[in-house]
Chain A
Amino acid sequence: MSSLQSLDIKQRSATSSPSPSIRSTVEVAKLIDISKCIGCKACQVACGEWNDIRDVVGRNVGLYDNPPDLTASTWTVMRFTEHETETGKLEWLIRKDGCMHCEDPGCLKACPSPGAIVQYANGIVDFIEEHCIGCGSCITGCPFNIPRISKKDNKAYKCTLCSDRVSVGMEPACVKTCPTGAITFGSKQDMIEHATERLQDLKERGFQNAGLYDPKGVGGTHVMYVLQHADAPQIYHGLPRDPHISPLVNLWKGALKPIALLAMGAAVLTGFFHYVKVGPNDADADEGEDARSKKAGMELGQEER
């Protein structure tokens, strides 16, 4: 498999020249309204079904989260949090976890293999597993802890936002199946407008801090949440308040790369031109005519006595 939309690539991992990009496409987004989610996990099932992957049957770990974490074969998982409000009321916060499809993807930035991660013009970030070398740099780069390396084939996997479905005009499988309409899909602009209506409704119902989660630290995301408590995203099973690519990753994949290569090139050239200027430091060229070597011999003789 190669990338499905070869004319619509915005960014390609480990590639500095421009990608095929003559066509401009509408940016898409998936909106997950946590206030509407009932935790039925139909999206999890639809995801496994459409992508035709089955995770191994795990063990109950005492939580509703099942499986307890994302894996190479589980690209989305419902995270259940029992949250007690200030007034002592219980809220069951259920967050559909999976790739956020960042506008500034840390995985793509960190990936060393050309074309193993692409970002389409519509914003979807996709792993092209046949080019994956299994190094795990995408995990190092991801601010949301999403990619998983398969123990079976050492390739990295994550949600594709059903790039195959979207490329032929269909919505992602999870959106298609959601029985409450908690997951919607469309142009990013439309999704922001839809979210605005939802937020108005939530605020009228007393959720004063309701807000849209579209974090600017990663340039915005193509998977967004409507949160009842946008002032405290971390209560939704550790959703980061201000996600961004780690400065360590930025330094590694930013300044260090050109500086290191320039320094190595400069060292080789300095050595070469130094040689051109001063010539070899050649003791044996002194043979026969150099007085110093005779002196050296004499000194040796003296030392020996």
Chain B
Amino acid sequence: MSVDPSAPIQRYSDGERITHWTVAILFVLVALSGLSLFHPALFWLSNLFGGGPWTRILHPFLGVAAVAAFVVMMARFWGYNRIEERDRQWLRQWRDVVDNREDKLPAVGRYNAGQKVLFWVLVVCMLALLVTGILFWRPWFADSFPIFLVRLATLAHAAIATIVILAVIIHVDASIWTRGSIRAMMRGTVSTRWAMKHHRAWAQEKMKQG
């Protein structure tokens, strides 16, 4: 018996997709407003939010909303992202990954090691951004903390945000590079062929389930 390689497989439910894009939209807004306050060369981005004071007012609220949405997504995807031995092997073979030699890699489950690393980087960084952000959120909280802590939090917030933005840039690069990924997150389905090429172990599991 053979399977139609073009047959669609459900990869993301409606709820998963809506959660992902909610996080994505809020992330873009919070990143743009944060960057405008981080580097003078990007201060013009504050115009997108109604000017400097409005950017300053909105950024922390957008941040809290982004973290809240992220926590929902985190809860949904937590179980899929445990790092296994085959993930370590996948990471060791990163040259095969970037050179499109996927056939040489160990069979990938629902997520590959790169996606899992992104997940854990975001889990740690988003929560750290929330904590450091509250420490210097004016006018509400900053005055309650010693100045040393405020300074440390400000520096850490900027550094951690840089890591998150880099991680998301790589995430977007990879989704453009791996054709069908954006469709998967937009429409929810992938072809059997796509699943077998990129997530063989997951595809086989899905097949078994019928």
Residues of A whose CB lies within 8 Å of any CB of B are 14-16, 112-114, 131, 133-137, 139-140, 145, 149, 151, 154, 246, 248-249, 251-252, 256-257, 259-261, 263-264, 267-268, 270-272, 274-275, 278-287, 292-294, 296-301, 303-305
A248-B53 in contact given A267-B169, A268-B169, A300-B192 (Cβ < 8 Å)? no
Interface of A is mostly: helix
Q: Which of A137, A260, A296 contacts B5 (CB 8 A)?
A: A296
- CB atoms of A280 and B53 under 8 A apart: no
Q: Kindly provide the distance from the CB of A276 to the nearest chain B CB, expressed in whole angstroms.
A: 11
Q: How far is the CA of A292 from the CA of B192 in the complex (A)?
A: 13
Tell me whether A113 and B52 are in contact (CB under 8 A): yes
Q: Using a Cβ cutoff of 8 Å, how many contacts connect chains A and B?
A: 180
Q: Which one, A252, A280, A305, contacts B179 given CB within 8 A?
A: A280
Contact B136 A283, beta carbon cutoff 8 Å = no
Contact (Cβ within 8 A) B100 A278: yes
> Is B178's CB under 8 angstroms from A16's CB?
no
8 example contacts (A-B, Cβ-Cβ < 8 A) are as follows A14-B40, A114-B43, A133-B37, A136-B136, A149-B138, A252-B158, A292-B103, A293-B197
B150 closest partner in A (C-beta): A140
Residue of A14, A16, A251, A297 touching B3 (CB-CB under 8 A): A297
Give A246's nearest chain B residue, CB to CB. B151
A257 in contact with B196 given A249-B151, A275-B177, A280-B179 (CB within 8 Å): no
Are B142 and A263 interface neighbours, CB within 8 A? no
Residues of B within 8 A of A292 (CB): 103, 197
- Residue of B42, B51, B55, B196 near A296 (CB, 8 A) is B196
Residues of B within 8 Å of A286, CB to CB, are 193, 197
User: Is B170 at the interface (CB under 8 A from chain A)?
Assistant: yes
Query: Distance in Å from the Cβ of A9 to the closest Cβ of chain B?
Result: 16
Q: Do B204 and A300 touch across chains, with their CB atoms under 8 A apart?
A: yes
Closest to A258 in B: B39
Q: B159 contacts which chain A residues (CB < 8 A)?
A: 256, 260
A11 to chain B, nearest CB (A): 13
Q: Known contacts being A274-B173, A284-B193, is A256 close to B155, with CB within 8 Å?
A: yes
